[in-house]
Structure 1
Amino acid sequence: MIKETKRYITIIVIMILLVFSVAIMTRLSYKGSITLKQLQDNSDVNNYTVQFGEDTVEKDIFKTINNYDDLKTQSKFFAKIHVTDERKLFASAVYTKVIVKKTYKSDYSIKKNDHIYIYEPVSFEEDFRLYDSSSGYQLMRTNEDYYVFLNELPSSTSYIKSKKEKVSFIPSTLKYSIYCAKNTKTQLLDKNRMDGYKYVDIKNLDILTNDSGVLNKYEEIKKNIIDDLK
């Protein structure tokens, strides 16, 4: 009986070691970039083709708003943040670590200088050299300050979030939740050129749209934010 038990334990240990070996070899053989910095170091991101996704994201995840008051109401967290260079690449998002500089509205116990994380709904497809933006959302620029309107990531009531997941958020809306704290230039994209933009053409814009109504609303809300926080 003891011999059989030892044999069983030995088999289990060997299986565990094999699993770890496969995992390590898979990780070492992976050539893709894991972070945004790695991607920028390894690839000419400026020449990536911009791909504009449609409004196909579930409506119960991202909110629809008409104005600044709506935006504040529909967002559980409103703050000024600083974007760090700790940014991980996921299949359909960039996971960005930010530092909270000032909080204006919060349903959470988050204080000044705390770190939180934002899932930004954009992605870089290294194999195809694409930058994919969901419905006009634009990636925040590293080392800049932003006003952000966020909500927690949806989950089932029975799911127990990790410590990091408890401070991980998504923009409350796809188009109107992120505003650079500096005076930055906005620009209407050319409808006839939507298939021809490169990342270098749009990387300094705060929103990606060829709809003047969307751009005007974005600019109006930013003006409202600045006036409100004076």
Structure 2
Amino acid sequence: MCHNLKEGAFVVSDAHYSHIRKDFLDFLKAIKEKQLLPTQLILLGDIFDTLFGQVSFTLEINREAIDILNEISKEIEVIYLEGNHDFNLKKIFPYIKVFNIKSQPVEMSFNKQKILLSHGDIESPLGYNIYTAIIRNRFVLSILNLFNNLFNHIIVKKLDEYLSKKDDCIELVGFEEYIKRRLLDKYSCDFFIEGHFHQNKSFKLKDFRYINLAAFACNQRYFIVKSSKDVGLLLQEDTFTKAQQYQET
């Protein structure tokens, strides 16, 4: 099924929100209070650092952001592509269109162009695919939930502490070549947009333009969908304080 990408949509990737890093909560409040006016909100995964559908404590520590997102989704369309930090979310967000990893990339249309959206952990090596299948398994998560509750939430607390210390803004050497090996000749589209790698780079592959978004966790960057006579789709980079043009390489 193809979905429409709207002019003026906000696209956000890799906010890695937690009770330790709260910038994304301020962003959601600004939308709720109409200080920011997206026509549509596209969330490309890893929006939360730890939000697992079967682990109750992850809902508890993220409750305020969850509630605001649910309020926003009653007023504008919100599309949420699950990441590797936030998954099994459909029951948490009843009014949001949630796409799990098996449903990605998600096809969207903008100005008669075909746009594919992904969090970024599709087309990954076998070992990673096995890992992601295990962490999303409902039985595994139910056991994790049980142990976490028995031991004063120590598992999620330690995970949060570890993730909060990660550097989300590292430039990956050889990134363009890696993407070519990973995606070349596998998809037919005009634009392929994803997050996950936090690189804020765009380049032309053989059949489409590839865009890897910056992480919101790095300087609170998000992107606004605009029309462009030259390329059809333009992602204008913005922050809470300063707008600047999305830079292509």
Q: Which has the larger radius of gyration?
A: 1
Q: When the two structures are superposed, what TM-score results if normalisation uses the length of structure 1?
A: 0.26
